Chain A
């Protein structure tokens, strides 16, 4: 009889670093919701989110042996997901408002108290560029510090701060805040 063992994220990360791909499968199940929210903020399309997530995980698996442990695996995964999403968005050449049309309206209605109204989300995607949406999600959606967000997005902390400041200003101007 097989023994089912539940590892926490730290233990799983250790196993992943040792080359255990099954542990990688378990680890991304823990992180997937947070990672996909960053991808979502960039691509803005339900179908594309799944595609980009799968591409990102594949990239991560393929380059796992090159991971040097300078950051946590989670930060590394965020970085891969963000970059893959950006590349995907550029490749697809989607305009922001086109991709938002793919949002499932019923989702917003079911959990209305938790999420933004569809119109608000559409406006958000209209008014903010890819980078600003990503930073908004990372800093205010997921609670990263500017320093942590800087590591993921590959920019200095001060740049993150000023870009987030501009994002806030834009949202205020549109009456979204």
Chain B
């Protein structure tokens, strides 16, 4: 029995809902709905109360205004007496009293907003305290566990690798491919579909342009699943060939190979001219190989095997090195490979020999590569 068959049969063992299951769920939803309505009612009540409070505040304000006006009047009389006595020509105006009054009102509002600011600054203070505590308990622990000093060598380890460089590595003529590092920070770089493709009715997902010739355009046809790879002339949309089998996406293309993944743990290398399978990464270690990351020149593949990761020369079919590191390669440059580790770690590994150069937390890594 194949695993697909096994999985399908496993699915049919799932039990049907028991009697009363939907009644319980419906009553839960109905309850939530009525709570929601009550909330809306209480919001209205709150609003009404607020209006009432505002009304009372206005009344109080009027009373205060009367008192203030009385005091002002006394002061003016006093001032008038003083002017008469000194001979200065000052004309006190009623407007100034109104201004004063409105200033008093603003002061009331300011009092409210200040208290808000106080709350805010307290919250920020708390947050800062929390983060300090978190750093103390987590950051130092991590650094000790990894045995890597994080204060040094960023510039050396990541020399030539910054956010701009990563974008360049993945840049196609028509945009950028998404990168899982960026996905972690919720940044999605969407590829742009050329008009020639659109006019021929293509709806390409994960498009790929051959940077050398700029001529071919690769895509799969259906979103959310596997689909045929279509190769078309980038300028007029003419289809050159399409695969019979479904694949997940195009990883790389040059004059010799088109490297595709079926997402099922294998990468295949198709003849660039015909689309026929030249060879696959399947079972080179007696183990299924997860979709691999390719070096910038497309000559080396870095993938996952049961006990770690490996580097494989695509042209000589030889294993260059193996490592026990439990991580998923994300991207490779000429010098280093970036890998997703467990627990949100990012590993930087020497592309030449697989040695671990440095470990980062994801946020820290993004900060480092994004720094100018």
Contacts and interface: CB of A to CB of B under 8 A. Distances in A.
B95 interface: no
A176 interface: yes
Contacts of B7: 136-137, 139-141
B226 A140 contact: no
Given A21-B29, A50-B21, A161 B290 contact: yes
B172 to A, nearest CB: 20
Contacts of A47: 18
Chain A: number of interface residues, binned into ranges:
35 or more
B267 to A, nearest CB: 11
Contacts of B186: 70
Nearest to A40: B14
A3 interface: no
A58 B4 CA distance: 32
A143 to B, nearest CB: 8
A49 interface: yes
B263 interface: yes
A22 B30 CA distance: 8
Given A36-B17, A54-B28, A164-B265, A115 B9 contact: yes
Contacts, number: 147
Contacts of A61: 28-29, 32
Contacts of A146: 263-265, 291
Interface of A: 21-22, 24-25, 28-29, 32-33, 36-37, 40-41, 46-47, 49-50, 53-54, 57-58, 61-62, 70, 103-104, 107-108, 111, 114-116, 121, 124, 136-137, 139-143, 145-148, 156-159, 161-162, 164-166, 168-169, 171, 176-177
5 contacts: A49-B14, A53-B25, A121-B10, A137-B7, A165-B288
Interface of B: 1-4, 6-15, 17-18, 21-22, 24-26, 28-29, 32-33, 36, 180, 186, 224-226, 248, 263-265, 287-288, 290-291, 304-306, 328-329, 340
The 10 closest A-B pairs by CB, nearest first: A140-B7, A158-B328, A141-B11, A161-B290, A37-B14, A40-B14, A165-B288, A115-B12, A46-B15, A141-B7
